[in-house]
C-alpha cells in the first residue's frame, strides 16, 4: 500500500491562469482531482479522496488514452448536464481537429467530478483526435438521448 500525503486548506496557493485565479497544492506538482481547482474547499475534498483511493490501491492513471477513457465512461454512465457538456466538448474536438479545448471555460456550469474532468480535457486534445469512431458514436448517441 503506497504512502500518500493528505492536503490541508493551507497547502493551497493561488496563481493566475489566463486571468483567472486558480489554486494548487504547493507540494504536489501532479495534475489530479482537486489540483488545480478554482475552489480550494472543493479541491481539498477531491484531492484527499483521490489520495485515499491511491492509498487503497487504486493506481493513478497516467496514460492519456486511459485518462480519456475514464472521462468518456463517466460521461456515458452519469448522463447529467455536466456529462453532456463534457461530451459536447469531446465531440467538437473530435469532429473539428483545428478546435482546441482550453482551460478557458465557464467553471460554474460544471459540477464535480465533471469540473475536474473538464480541466483534464485541456491536456488531452491529441488523445481526443485518436478516439475510435465507435466511441464517438456512443457519445453522439448520449447527446441525442439526454
137 and 103, same structural domain? Answer: yes
Cβ atoms of 116 and 103 within 8 Å: the answer is no
Report if residue 2 sits inside a domain: no
Contacts of 53 (CB under 8 A, 6+ apart): none
Report if residue 1 sits inside a domain: no
68 and 134, same structural domain? Answer: yes
Which pLDDT score is estimated for 59? Answer: 62
Which pLDDT score is estimated for 96? Answer: 95
Which pLDDT score is estimated for 58? Answer: 66
**Residue 103 scores a pLDDT above 80:** no
Residue-number span of the structural domain to which 47 is assigned: 9-55
Report if residue 4 sits inside a domain: no
Cell of 101: 479545448
At 141, phi and psi to the nearest 5? -60, -40
**Mean pLDDT across 32-37:** 87
pTM greater than 0.75: no
**Residue 116 scores a pLDDT above 90:** no
Report if residue 71 sits inside a domain: yes
Amino acid at each position: 500500500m503506497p504512502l500518500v500525503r493528505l492536503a490541508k486548506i493551507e497547502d493551497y496557493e493561488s496563481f493566475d491562469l489566463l486571468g483567472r485565479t486558480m489554486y494548487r497544492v504547493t507540494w504536489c506538482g501532479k495534475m489530479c482531482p482537486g489540483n488545480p481547482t478554482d475552489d480550494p474547499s472543493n479541491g481539498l475534498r477531491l484531492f484527499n479522496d483521490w489520495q485515499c483511493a491511491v492509498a487503497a490501491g487504486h493506481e493513478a492513471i497516467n496514460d492519456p488514452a486511459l485518462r480519456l477513457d475514464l472521462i468518456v465512461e463517466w460521461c456515458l454512465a452519469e448522463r447529467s448536464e455536466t456529462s453532456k457538456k463534457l461530451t459536447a466538448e469531446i465531440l467538437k474536438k473530435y469532429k473539428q481537429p483545428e478546435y482546441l479545448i482550453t482551460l478557458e471555460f465557464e467553471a460554474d456550469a460544471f459540477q464535480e467530478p465533471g469540473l475536474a474532468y473538464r480541466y483534464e480535457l485541456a491536456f488531452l486534445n491529441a488523445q481526443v483526435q485518436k478516439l475510435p469512431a465507435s466511441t464517438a458514436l456512443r457519445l453522439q448517441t448520449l447527446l441525442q438521448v439526454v
